[in-house]
Amino acid sequence: GAVVSQHPSRVICKSGTSVKIECRSLDFQATTMFWYRQFPKKSLMLMATSNEGSKATYEQGVEKDKFLINHASLTLSTLTVTSAHPEDSSFYICSALNAQGYNTGELFFGEGSRLTVL
């Protein structure tokens, strides 16, 4: 149980276009999901906390108008990179908090989505 799936796993787009990444909790309901960004050879940077039915909470320095997050249902959160530029190229990873991990804080991670902006 506690499977999180991301789609697409890889995407290549032209500069100036928008890209949507989906994150789904397949076998549990996730009221809270988190979006991380991973730079090459660096740690995971928390971008935002996504709460079902409310606006996402963004970390300092993350442009909320550029990285649009929508958490419309208990099993789906989406990250849209708007007007993407080469510097947005990165590995984006979502994670979800499952009730079974709630007391420990354990998160379940998607497979990640590698975005390449040409």
In degrees and rounded to multiples of 5, residue 101 shows phi and psi of -105, 5
Radius of gyration of the chain (CA): 14
Q: Closest separation between CB of residue 9 and another protein, Å?
A: 9
Q: Which of residues 88-107 bind another protein (CB under 8 A)?
A: 93, 95, 97, 102-107
The first and second tokens of residue 61, run together, are 């320095």
- The helix/strand/coil state of 3 is coil
CB-CB neighbours of 36 under 10 Å: 21
Binding region for another protein (CB under 8 A) out of 11-19, 26-34, 68-76, 77-85 = 26-34
- Least distance from C-beta 70 to another protein, angstroms? 17
63/106 with CB nearer another protein: 106
* 74 CA to centre of own chain: 14
Q: Does 60 bind another protein (CB under 8 A)?
A: no
- Taking CB under 8 A as the criterion, the residue among 3, 73, 111, 118 binding another protein is 111
